[in-house]
Structure 1
Amino acid sequence: MIVQYKFVDTIPDVLEEGVLYISILYCTAIHKCVCGCGNEVVTPLAPEGWKLIFDGKSVSLYPSIGNWNFECKSHYYITNSEVRIARSWDAMINQSPQKSVVKKKRSKKKRKK
């Protein structure tokens, strides 16, 4: 999915699907969730928050956008104006190195019995 972008002074009352609105004045980017749920996703731009890259043709937002508080729990990147779906939070937790270590320790204990 390709995201269009619009530089605006203020965020419009009604957001269009597939458009990333960028307000340099308010250091904010906002868009409708790419999953189609209709929720508005606000990404404050700041050194400790999201970073926006505009190369004259496309935009990128870093880090990824994880909508953990939405029912959809969507997780994605916007890179060069293209949406890339990322793993869900549950999948990331279930495949974390700490979880693998715990599973290995449990299976060793079971074998000792």
Structure 2
Amino acid sequence: MTRLGQIKPEFVEFIPENLAPGVLYISKRYSTASHLCCCGCGLEVVTPLNPAKWRLIESDGAISLSPSVGSWSFPCRSHYWISGNRVQWAAVMSAERIAAVKSRDRRDVEAMAPQPQGFFARMVGAIATKIGRWFGR
């Protein structure tokens, strides 16, 4: 496997079924970017573009993704930054550190999720509380 040092942005409406190595496909319409893992393993990396996940920055035809891309569920466990169309490799992270990052990411997503409001949400909350009391005995 050959690690990439650069990646080329390609703006598309739909992410293609077959991805080319070294290309970051960006769908602004669907707020998603996808690419093949930069380590060369050939697995697809999907980066949802939203405040709780990744942010895409465009500057003078170059793109950057923030935060880093951690392919920790892949066998390669690659970890890198995409900055100014360049792939900057990060140090390997321990299993404990990866678990902490994943936990923080889950909290960030939960904090961004809209909270239910109104009569229906209050009823669901009341029912859940009642059920919890029944099974808590």
Query: Into which bin does the TM-score normalised by the smaller protein fall?
Result: 0.7 to 0.9
Q: 1:21 aligned to 2:41?
A: no
TM-score normalized by the length of structure 1: 0.79
1:86 corresponds to which residue? 90
1:45 corresponds to which residue? 49
Give SS of 2:94's match: helix
1:66 corresponds to which residue? 70
Q: Percent identity?
A: 48
User: C-alpha separation between the residues in 2 aligned to 1:52 and 1:67?
Assistant: 18
User: C-alpha separation between the residues in 1 aligned to 2:29 and 2:95?
Assistant: 37
Q: Which AA in structure 2 matches 1:82?
A: R
Residue 56 of structure 1, CA deviation: 2.9
4+ runs deviating over 4 angstroms: none
Counterparts of 1:94-109 in structure 2 under 5 Å? none
Give SS of 1:29's match: strand
Structure 1: gaps (5+ residues):
94-113
Structure 2: gaps (5+ residues):
98-137
1:101 corresponds to which residue? none
1:105 corresponds to which residue? none
1:10 corresponds to which residue? 14
Residue 92 of structure 1, CA deviation: 8.3
Give SS of 1:41's match: strand
Which structure dedicates a bigger proportion of its chain to helix?
A: 2
User: C-alpha separation between the residues in 2 aligned to 1:18 and 1:92?
Assistant: 30
Which structure dedicates a bigger proportion of its chain to strand?
A: 1
